[in-house]
Amino acid sequence: MSDTPLDFKHFIRIIGRGQRAGRTLTMPEAKQAMSMIINGQTTAEQKGAFLMLLRVREETAEELAGFSEAFRELTASPFSQLSVDLDMGCYAGKRRHLPWFLLSVLLLAKSGKRIFLHGTHEPDSKRLYLKQVLPQLGYDIAKNPQQAKKALDSCGFAYMDLQQINPHLDAIIQLREQFGLRSCANTLARMLNPTSASHSLQGIFHRLVDEKHRKTAALLNDQNVLCFRGEGGEVEFNPLRDVTLHISRNAQQVCQDVRATYDTFVSKPQALDPKQLIAVWTGQSHNHYADHAVVGTLSVMLVLVNNLEWSEAYQQAELMWQQRDKTWPATLPEENLGPELFETNGKHYAH
């Protein structure tokens, strides 16, 4: 079969013929189909039909693994030379709480680990994204691997937009503006691990998707992957909810069940002020929910990067939080670089 736009209908036919006649794609088929989309060997109509058929039926682990292989081959090699310990795909954004996981990132970075964060601003989702938050905290957004290396060397972590890392994958995410729905691209971005980091942390929103991430990581034979249902779908521990940590280490799959650590109801604030992250870090403001979210998220990180059981990881995380240097580690901008407050009212879309 030659790779032409007309031939792509073969893959649409496979997944679109219904429950009896149709079937799912094998891992090699999925890789070939996504490679054709990446290389522009489909019409716009074919690409849209393919993505939305998958959206309705939901992707299998084999399909996600094949798609991931196609996008990983497209990611530029300089990213894999950044020497990163932990990869974190931050694609959900926040709408109920501030991204407290950033304080966990700072703590882990101060312990000597190098962390690479990546994400994008998804159209119409009405959420608070890292690209909006970080400049207000005194941290730059890296535009290329060289700037990312500088940030990793000086701060221990770096953030880049997906558009600079893998523009083809980001372009599919941005199609939400036309579809009104997310596609598998959101999942694939979380799995991308562009720096080939030795560990990858992934947060998701919907039930059972964490299990699918674990199975996909095993099919890809990724070294160390942990996926869990994070707060709002982000890579952040929700202290109000029990959660299962789904772990895959070189295709060996295990799970750890974790109980909620905070039992006090927390109402959603009317607005989110990113500078509250600084106030909590420095001790100028006390927020019990934030304390539990930071310690819990750091515990998840330590379970992954140090291969610990939850109880030991949590004990270490509590100590690291209590003994932190409360001086804010970045120089704050002299001028306001973004909206002071993020309004939490209105309709928001799940990830």
pLDDT digits (tens, 9 = 90+) for 168-208: 999 999 998 888 878 899 999 999 999 999 999 999 998 88
CA neighbor of 119 nearest in space, from 77, 78, 81, 165: 165
Tell me: pLDDT of 348 over 70: no
Q: Looking at residue 6, what is its pLDDT?
A: 66
Q: Looking at residue 339, what is its pLDDT?
A: 54
309: region left, alpha or beta (phi > 0 left; psi from -120 to 50 alpha): beta
The answer to whether 134 touches 13, Cβ cutoff 8 Å, is: no
pLDDT-derived band at 341 (thresholds 50, 70, 90) equals confident
The CA distance from 351 to 345, in Å, is 17
H-assigned helices in the chain: 9-16, 18-21, 27-38, 44-57, 61-74, 101-110, 130-133, 145-155, 162-165, 167-173, 176-179, 185-191, 209-220, 276-282, 288-305, 310-322
pLDDT-derived band at 5 (thresholds 50, 70, 90) equals low
Q: Which pLDDT tens digit goes with each residue over 199-233?
A: 999 999 988 899 999 999 999 999 999 999 999 99
The CA distance from 16 to 21, in Å, is 9
Tell me: pLDDT of 349 over 80: no
**Looking at the chain, which residues constitute the CATH 3.40.1030.10 domain(s)?**
81-343
pLDDT-derived band at 3 (thresholds 50, 70, 90) equals low
Bridge partners for 203 per DSSP: 228
> What's the average model confidence in pLDDT over 236-243?
97
* Residue 131, token pair as written in the block: 């690209």
> What's the average model confidence in pLDDT over 54-71?
95
The CATH number of the structural domain formed by 81-343 is: 3.40.1030.10
Q: Looking at residue 122, what is its pLDDT?
A: 83
| Alpha carbon 26 to chain centroid, angstroms | 25
Helices 310-322 and 288-305: crossing angle in degrees, nearest 10, is 130
Number of other residues whose CB lies within 10 A of the CB of residue 26: 14
Whole-number percent of the chain with pLDDT over 90: 79
pLDDT-derived band at 346 (thresholds 50, 70, 90) equals low
The CA distance from 297 to 57, in Å, is 32
Number of other residues whose CB lies within 10 A of the CB of residue 137: 20
**Angle value at C-alpha 70, between 69 and 73, nearest 5 degrees:** 80
Number of H helices, E strands in the chain: 16, 9
pTM of this prediction?
Answer: 0.93
